């Protein structure tokens, strides 16, 4: 009986061009990290369950891949990077001078219902800026996301921005406990406003939230002004709106970014305390990335009080966005060559030529199937190879090989030492 193995539900194989899009996106994320002064860290995929569930929020807690290792430890696959980064900052990096800027990229795991753009294993690039409570730190995180979107070649993307302190400020002042607040925010994250309002017992608070949800401005300045006067009697919420205005002011000064303020915007992760944002492209209605400020997480993990702000981009969704905008990959800069010895006896010399080409930065597929010339050339065509280097006895005696341009079908005898120059130009 033959068995046809498939990947685990919600997990994918990425092959060829698709894998290349991911690799390119990862390179761009890494370049952005470098450009903004972030240091890369590589942390384990498996972490103690206790660490991951400490402050991820109920929703993500319920969607983790949890298991016991053979030593009986409760562990889980990371559903995000922030908990691992917080672990670093509260332990080995505890005494690092602030701010600390850390970058990570890799796969994360959530037991989501699989659909296009939603997988159970997916790739994130992640940036955390720790040690500053100032609005310029928030602005930097949004600006670097903008930089990354731009360098990927995406167009028409919009930042949706809000501030968790506005909703929490209203609810806290009216005596709504934190657990209820978290539940309300989760419903609001799902845009289930009716269910969110139902959870709020205080009539005053409910009416305030309802009014907040209804605020719409033509541009971010107008929305922030409306929010400012709306929460005038709520000092903490008012402070939050002021902070949001300051962050957006800084961003507006330094970049031409399309920003929409959504006063009722909430995000699934419980640890956010301040500005939150997501970035969208018009072609798909799921966020490509998002983040926000989380000032108390490091304390929760036993570290010194450390204000922090961070963001993550979903590379699987970036790939979908690139495809929907038909962003073509940059032309291959590396030329691809097939090196084919005409006879068995010429294999050593042919391999030596292949190695010379590789050292000079030419990609070589060596003929490893022992095929006859016609078959080998047919195969090279299928593999979209630029040139075939045919190593024959007669030419080799003269220190030369036959070079065939597979696009133009032209061929010529070339001295081995001129080969690299000819292929590269």
Least separation in angstroms between CB 267 and ligand AMP: 6
Q: Is residue 152 classed as helix, strand or coil in its secondary structure?
A: coil
Least separation in angstroms between CB 26 and ligand AMP: 14
Residue nearest to ligand AMP according to CB distances in the complex: 314
- C-alpha separations of 329 from 169, 272, 406 in Å: 46, 36, 22
Residue 80 or 140: which CB sits closer to ligand AMP? Answer: 80
Residue 122 or 265: which CB sits closer to ligand AMP? Answer: 122
Least separation in angstroms between CB 115 and ligand AMP: 9
Q: How far apart are CA 99 and CA 77, in angstroms?
A: 28
Residue 101 or 110: which CB sits closer to ligand AMP? Answer: 110
Least separation in angstroms between CB 149 and ligand AMP: 12
Residue 17 or 113: which CB sits closer to ligand AMP? Answer: 113
Residue 117 or 153: which CB sits closer to ligand AMP? Answer: 117
Q: Is residue 190 classed as helix, strand or coil in its secondary structure?
A: coil
**Which residue ranges make up the site for ligand AMP (CB under 6 A)?**
80, 110, 112, 117-119, 122, 124, 268, 287-290, 312, 314, 316-317
Report residue 314: phi and psi, to 5°.
Answer: -90, 110
Strand segments, DSSP code E, in 206-346 are: 259-261, 275-280, 289-293, 308-314, 336-341
- C-alpha separations of 290 from 114, 142, 166, 278 in Å: 20, 9, 18, 4
**In 3D, which of 6, 32, 285 has the Cα closest to residue 152?**
32
Least separation in angstroms between CB 272 and ligand AMP: 9
Strand arrangement of the beta sheet that strand 336-341 belongs to: 363-366, 336-341, 387-391, 400-405, 411-415
Residue 274 or 314: which CB sits closer to ligand AMP? Answer: 314
Least separation in angstroms between CB 257 and ligand AMP: 17
What angle, 0 to 180 degrees and rounded to 10, lies between the N-to-C axes of helices 164-173 and 235-254? 170
């Amino acid at each position: 009986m033959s068995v046809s193995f498939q990947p685990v539900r919600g997990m994918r194989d990425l092959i060829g061009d698709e894998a290349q899009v991911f690799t390119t996106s990862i390179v761009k994320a890494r370049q952005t990290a470098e450009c903004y002064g972030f240091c890369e860290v590589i942390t384990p995929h498996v972490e103690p369950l206790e660490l991951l569930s400490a402050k991820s929020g109920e929703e993500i807690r319920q969607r983790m891949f949890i298991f016991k290792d053979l030593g009986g430890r409760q562990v889980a696959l990371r559903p995000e990077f922030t908990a691992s980064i917080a672990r670093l900052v509260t332990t080995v990096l505890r005494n690092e001078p602030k701010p600390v800027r850390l970058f990570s990229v890799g796969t994360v795991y959530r037991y989501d219902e699989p659909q296009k753009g939603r997988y159970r294993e997916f790739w994130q690039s992640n940036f955390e800026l720790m040690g500053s409570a100032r609005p310029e730190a928030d602005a930097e995180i949004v600006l670097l996301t903008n930089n990354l979107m731009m360098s990927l070649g995406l167009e028409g993307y919009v930042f949706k921005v809000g501030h968790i302190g506005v909703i929490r400020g209203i609810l806290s002042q009216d005596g709504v406990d934190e657990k209820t607040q978290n539940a309300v925010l989760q419903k609001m994250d799902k845009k289930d406003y009716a269910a969110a309002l139902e959870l709020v017992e205080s009539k005053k608070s409910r009416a305030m939230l309802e009014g907040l949800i209804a605020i719409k401005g033509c541009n971010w300045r107008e929305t922030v002004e409306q929010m400012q006067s709306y929460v005038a009697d709520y000092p903490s919420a008012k402070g939050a709106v002021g902070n949001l205005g300051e962050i957006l002011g800084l961003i507006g000064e330094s970049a031409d970014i399309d920003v929409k303020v959504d006063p009722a915007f909430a995000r699934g992760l419980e640890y956010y305390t301040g500005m939150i944002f997501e970035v969208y492209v018009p072609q798909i209605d799921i966020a490509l990335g998002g983040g926000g400020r989380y000032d108390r997480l490091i304390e929760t993990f036993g570290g010194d009080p450390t204000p922090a702000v961070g963001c993550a981009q979903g590379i699987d969704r970036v790939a979908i966005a690139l495809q929907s905008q038909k962003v073509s990959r940059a032309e291959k800069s590396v030329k691809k060559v097939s090196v084919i010895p005409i006879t068995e006896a010429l294999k050593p010399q042919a391999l030596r030529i292949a190695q010379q080409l590789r050292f000079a930065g030419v990609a070589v597929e060596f003929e490893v199937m022992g095929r006859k010339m016609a078959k080998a050339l047919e195969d090279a065509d299928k593999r979209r190879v630029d040139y075939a280097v045919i190593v024959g006895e007669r030419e080799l005696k003269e220190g030369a090989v036959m070079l065939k341009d597979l696009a133009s079908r032209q061929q010529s005898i070339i001295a081995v030492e001129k080969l690299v120059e000819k292929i590269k130009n």
